[in-house]
Amino acid sequence: MARIRKLGISITMVAAVALLAAGCQPLNFTPGGGGAGTGPCLPGTWNLDSMHIGALATALPGLSITAAGPGLTLTLTDTTWSVHADQTLTGSLTTPGGTASGTVHVTGDASGTYTATLPSVSFKVTSISGSAAYDVTAFGNHYTGTLSLPSSGLQKLYGFTGSATATCGATGLVLGFPSFSMHAHH
């Protein structure tokens, strides 16, 4: 029975994480202070304002995902980046076959380096740590536990890697990765 439960947890978490990571649309940030705006617009501290995951709702009618909590802070120097996350992702899915709902509370830190020739930015992750505590009820089964952030599948949202496009303006910074984008304000 324990083996079946672990399999159920794995399947539920992998499906939820894969959908979340693949479907993220703009993550909106607000300014955090600390000198942002000096230099070529990227350096500074940026705070998450809102998260939009509209592609998932289109792919899975009945799916709703929201983010709450202190949120996510992105700090950029001239060549390095760091992210601190303390946020809760809450989701629900209603299908003809049943319902699934739950929360994942992410607490973690990631950092790395980047190079930029605007609008192109190339990110490398050098470290990521933290945890993802989940509480999920899926189709009549209840699962709880904690995974390390690096092995949770959510590291893709917090450990920036690969190419992105950056757009800077008076209202904020937009970073667009192939699978998600972020909008930040100072």
Q: Which two tokens stand for residue 22?
A: 């693949």
pLDDT of 128 reads: 96
Q: Are 126 and 109 in contact (CB under 8 A)?
A: no
- Series of mean pLDDT values for 10-residue runs along the chain (186 residues): 45 43 45 47 80 54 77 90 92 84 93 92 95 91 92 81 81 73 65
Model pLDDT, residue 20: 46
pLDDT at 94: 84
Please give the pLDDT value at position 35. 42
DSSP annotation string for 145-186? EEEEHHHHSTHHHHS--EEEEEEEETTEEEEE-SS-EEEEE-
Q: How many domains does the chain have?
A: 1
3-state secondary structure of 22: helix
pLDDT of residue 80: 96
**Domain region containing 177:** 2-185
Residue 183 is predicted with a pLDDT of 63
Alpha helices in 51-110 (DSSP H): 54-59
